[in-house]
Structure 1
Amino acid sequence: MGIIRTDRWLDQWFFQPEIICEKLMNHFDRLTGQSIYLFLQSKGMYKPNRLTKKNFHMMKERNHWEKVEDFFNKYKKRWKGPNISIYVFPSSFSLFDPMNKREGFTFPHAMFLFLSPNLNDRELEALFVHEYHHATRMGTLKKPVSENNLADSVVMEGLAEFAVWKYCGEPYLSKWIFAYEEKEIKYVWKKWFQPNLTTSISDPLHDQLLYGKIFSKPMFGYAAGFYFVKQFDQQSKLSMEESFILPANTFILRNENQGK
């Protein structure tokens, strides 16, 4: 496994992403290529047009596939991480998007990276570290994704950003980490998150809260997760090995109890 040469698929079927997505059906139970494409598009995958085709050619020129493979080999060895399949595609893009746009999505056995050609190496590494931390934690805990709840997801995102902070540095953290002051985090957490921590990942409320689609603030779950993990690290010096195995409540309950 490791890096899958999706660049070769894109050379042949760039304007037919549904055909490309038919090659991903082993990761998506009972979904068609069209359905898979619509799902991945919602996560950041490109829409075929002249602009994204140009971005694809620039990604090849700048060796994005080879660089991701190098990061995989580096962190798989460092973290004793899982041997997953990694799929790289151009990101959705418009003239209003940032030039370094990058998004990702990870299952226990597969990672999807949606990239713009203008990412520098450290930005690309930061995205990889975030997503591969997810894969390593999921592989270590061996808990079915369907059994995760809001508490699991908040801490999962916070721990992934903790890994970015440790290996890439503060400038490469998500901008949402710095969007909210401590007082605001505590208020929103108590009002919206505490009563709903057991909400299943399959419940629409889960994403509404985690990503801030309706009730909470944009990407608030990421900011809260990193806040809890950072507080834990300041008190107990969290190791990277612990970040893969400690349950979500270890981080949440300690901070909530100290706030009483």
Structure 2
Amino acid sequence: MAVIRTNKWGEMFLKHVRAQKDSELTYQRLFAQPLQPLFQFGTDTELAMYLEKVGLFTIKDTDALSLFITKNYWSVLQEKFLQLKEAWNGPNVPVYLLLANEQLKKRQTDVKGMMGLSFQNGIVLIVPETIEANDLFALLIHEYHHVCRLSHTKENEETITLLESMVMEGLAELAVKEWLGEAYLAPWTSLYDKTWNDKWAVIFIHKKLQLKGRRRYKDHLYGNAKKHIPPMLGYYFGYQLCQQAASHLKEETIGLLTTPAEKIYRYGSIENGFKNDKP
């Protein structure tokens, strides 16, 4: 399975646009319908709207799409996927590479203009048309690490705790660091290195660790200005937690892939402010 040739979807879409056929219907048929097994929305229209909201290109982005499908991203991605699969003994899942819209490309300070969505049965990568090869690899590392961990934990959107979500994000970025170095880490991994406030963990994190279901704690992961929760707080906390736990346990990503989140939390004592239980 592995990397799906979504560049062929793009070619078909551009043919319909040039022929002035029903672009909206074709867009949904080509870019939403094949992803329904992952997302399971009620209709292709609903899924297309959701995908555009999280960053998928629109029917107006034909110039960017034309450039995107001329690149060699798919072959490179297939090679890298096989490397990761062998290294982590991971599952063989489909990887869908799609073009980002303008709004997502502008989000450089938190997600570097790209987005990944992971499920036990597949990965969707949404990236700019001129993405640098190692940035694409970093995104794949992060998302495939999620898939590998999910294959062990068997968690889903309704059962996963805030603690496990933070650990998943932290471990995935540790994997990026191991494979590519600090230069390719997500911006949120160092977001509060100089401005960390101990009260944030006390107020927004520690008492919520066992909350289940992403919808119940998304604000604690992504932040919420109205609730005074700093942006990407849970992501940042998760990375710092995992980085310190890896140091204490003297483990690399492969060893931590199946380590329970509670153990990582216990060994994630941070000297410069985090007040977790000492190992």
Specify if TM > 0.5.
yes
Separation in 2, partners of 1:187, 1:69 = 44
Give the 4+ runs in structure 1 shifted more than 4 A: none
1:8 corresponds to which letter in structure 2?
A: K
For 1:43-90, what per-residue CA distance to the aligned partner results, in whole angstroms no more than 9, with x for missing partners?
Answer: 2211221xx322222222221122211111111111111100111110
Indicate the residue corresponding to 2:178 in structure 1: 166
Separation in 2, partners of 1:118, 1:44 = 15
2:278 corresponds to which letter in structure 1?
A: Q
Indicate the residue corresponding to 1:128 in structure 2: 140
Separation in 1, partners of 2:261, 2:64 = 38
**Aligned counterpart for 2:218 among listed residues 192, 207, 227:** 207
C-alpha contact 2:223 2:233 (8 A) present in aligned 1:
yes
After TM superposition, give the deviation of residue 92 of structure 1 in Å. Answer: 1.5
Structure 2 spans left out of the alignment, 5+ residues: 15-22, 270-275
C-alpha contact 2:105 2:113 (8 A) present in aligned 1:
no
Identity score, percent: 25
> Quick check: 116-125 or 152-161, which moved more?
116-125
TM-score (norm 1): 0.90
Separation in 2, partners of 1:61, 1:127 = 20
Separation in 1, partners of 2:10, 2:105 = 24
SS at match of 2:129: coil
Indicate the residue corresponding to 1:32 in structure 2: 43
Indicate the residue corresponding to 2:92 in structure 1: 83
Structure 1 spans left out of the alignment, 5+ residues: none
**Aligned counterpart for 1:74 among listed residues 68, 83, 86:** 83
Separation in 2, partners of 1:97, 1:28 = 25
C-alpha contact 1:161 1:173 (8 A) present in aligned 2:
yes
C-alpha contact 1:185 1:224 (8 A) present in aligned 2:
no
**Aligned counterpart for 1:47 among listed residues 55, 58, 66:** 58
Indicate the residue corresponding to 2:5 in structure 1: 5
SS at match of 1:257: coil
SS at match of 1:31: coil
> Quick check: 193-202 or 220-229, which moved more?
193-202
Distance change (3 Å), C-alpha of 1:47 and 1:185: farther
> Quick check: 84-93 or 2-11, which moved more?
2-11
From the CA coordinates, give the structure whose radius of gyration is larger. 2
**Aligned counterpart for 1:232 among listed residues 227, 241, 245:** 245
Separation in 2, partners of 1:177, 1:38 = 29
Indicate the residue corresponding to 1:252 in structure 2: 265
Distance change (3 Å), C-alpha of 1:96 and 1:227: closer
Indicate the residue corresponding to 2:33 in structure 1: 22
Separation in 2, partners of 1:128, 1:184 = 29
After TM superposition, give the deviation of residue 153 of structure 1 in Å. Answer: 0.6
Separation in 1, partners of 2:71, 2:105 = 22
C-alpha contact 2:36 2:44 (8 A) present in aligned 1:
yes
Indicate the residue corresponding to 2:18 in structure 1: none
C-alpha contact 2:171 2:239 (8 A) present in aligned 1:
yes
SS at match of 2:125: strand
> Quick check: 156-165 or 145-154, which moved more?
145-154
> Quick check: 120-129 or 60-69, which moved more?
60-69
C-alpha contact 1:101 1:119 (8 A) present in aligned 2:
no
Separation in 2, partners of 1:162, 1:185 = 23
C-alpha contact 2:170 2:240 (8 A) present in aligned 1:
yes
Separation in 2, partners of 1:92, 1:102 = 10
Distance change (3 Å), C-alpha of 1:30 and 1:36: closer
TM-score (norm 2): 0.84
C-alpha contact 2:157 2:214 (8 A) present in aligned 1:
no
- Report whether the alignment pairs 1:192 with 2:212: no
C-alpha contact 1:147 1:200 (8 A) present in aligned 2:
yes
Indicate the residue corresponding to 2:102 in structure 1: 93
Distance change (3 Å), C-alpha of 1:186 and 1:238: farther
Aligned residues: 256
Separation in 2, partners of 1:122, 1:192 = 34
**What is the root-mean-square deviation in Å for CA atoms of aligned residues?**
2.2
Separation in 1, partners of 2:52, 2:210 = 28
Separation in 1, partners of 2:197, 2:77 = 34
Separation in 1, partners of 2:204, 2:194 = 15
